[in-house]
Amino acid sequence: MTEALSINELEAELADRESRIALLRAEQVVLVQRAEWAQATQSDGSRSMEEWVQARLDVRPEVARDLVLASRRIARHRTISHRLADGRISFDRAIATLRYAEAGATPEQVDESFERDLGTVSRLKARQRRITTEDESSLFTDRYFVVQPSLDESTYRMWGQVPGAMGRTVEKAITQRADELRLIAESTGVSSTRGQRQADSLVAIARDSLDAEVHNRPDVPDGRASGGQVTVFVDASVRDAAETSAEIMYGPRVGPNTLEAMLCGGAAVNVVGLQDGVPVVTSRATRAIPRAIRDRVAHRDGGCTIDGCTSRYRLQPHHIVRVADGGTNDIDNLTTLCWYHHHVAIHGSGYQIDPESPPHRRRLLRCPLGNRGPPPRSHDPG
Binding-site ranges for Zn ion (CB under 5 A): 264, 304, 306, 309, 311, 318, 338, 341
Cα(317)–Cα(320) distance, rounded to whole angstroms?
9
Nearest Cα residue to 381 out of 329, 336, 320: 329
Cα(261)–Cα(244) distance, rounded to whole angstroms?
14
Q: Closest separation between CB of residue 92 and Zn ion, Å?
A: 58
User: 232 vs 338, which CB is nearer to Zn ion?
Assistant: 338
Q: How far is CA 338 from each of CA 91, 150, 363, 367, rounded to the nearest angstrom? A: 63, 30, 14, 20
User: What are the backbone angles phi and psi of residue 27, rounded to the nearest 5°?
Assistant: -65, -40
Cα(34)–Cα(171) distance, rounded to whole angstroms?
46
Q: Closest separation between CB of residue 321 and Zn ion, Å?
A: 11
334-337 vs 316-319, strand pairing mode: antiparallel
Maximal C-alpha separation, the chain = 104
Q: Starting at the earlier edge strand, list the strands of the sheet with 278-282.
A: 253-254, 246-248, 229-235, 268-275, 278-282
Q: Closest separation between CB of residue 289 and Zn ion, Å?
A: 11
Cα(90)–Cα(24) distance, rounded to whole angstroms?
11
